[in-house]
Amino acid sequence: MIYDQRLTCLCKIYLKYINCINGNILFNSTLQDTELKGYFIPKHTRVLSVTWALDHDTKLWGNDVHEYKPERFLSQDGSKVVKPEYAIPFSIGKRSCPGKSLAEVEVFLYLVAILQKFEVLPPAGKQVDLEAEFGINLQPKKQEICFKRRH
């Protein structure tokens, strides 16, 4: 694969979509009877931590949290990817994704290979909807896209 200056831009686009890999939920259970903000939680209760709330917290990411700003993950000079400690797309702790490194490399290489050869566009007269569908995990809405050869 031959890389050129356009990869800097492709890297920035990639950073926006790496959060799509996010499992969005951490499964745990309580080790003892617990009280949290006035709620009683019995021992061995399954607890779900929704990391989506962390990923969209304006206190951490700023009031523009819902805007497309891949530069959030770049150093001031734009030369390095910087991951804030509260960005946890692959979960955390002993239950974090064991394939994180492989997934990041594979997704990056596939996206770069596709984006080097094709422009990805919405069908004529339509716009791409970047909102997610909710369920146990977030997923992109089904929609049509067009691939146009670059060369």
User: In Å, what is the CA distance from 27 to each residue of 19, 23, 47, 102?
Assistant: 18, 10, 6, 23
| Angstrom distance (rounded) from CA 133 to CA 41 | 29
- DSSP-assigned letter for residue 32: S
Q: List pLDDT tens digits, range 68-97.
A: 888 888 888 888 888 888 888 777 777 778
Domain ranges of the chain: 1-118
Q: Is 97 annotated as a binding residue?
A: yes
Contact 57, 29 (CB under 8 A): no
Taking only the tens place, the pLDDT of each residue in 94-107 is 777 888 888 888 98
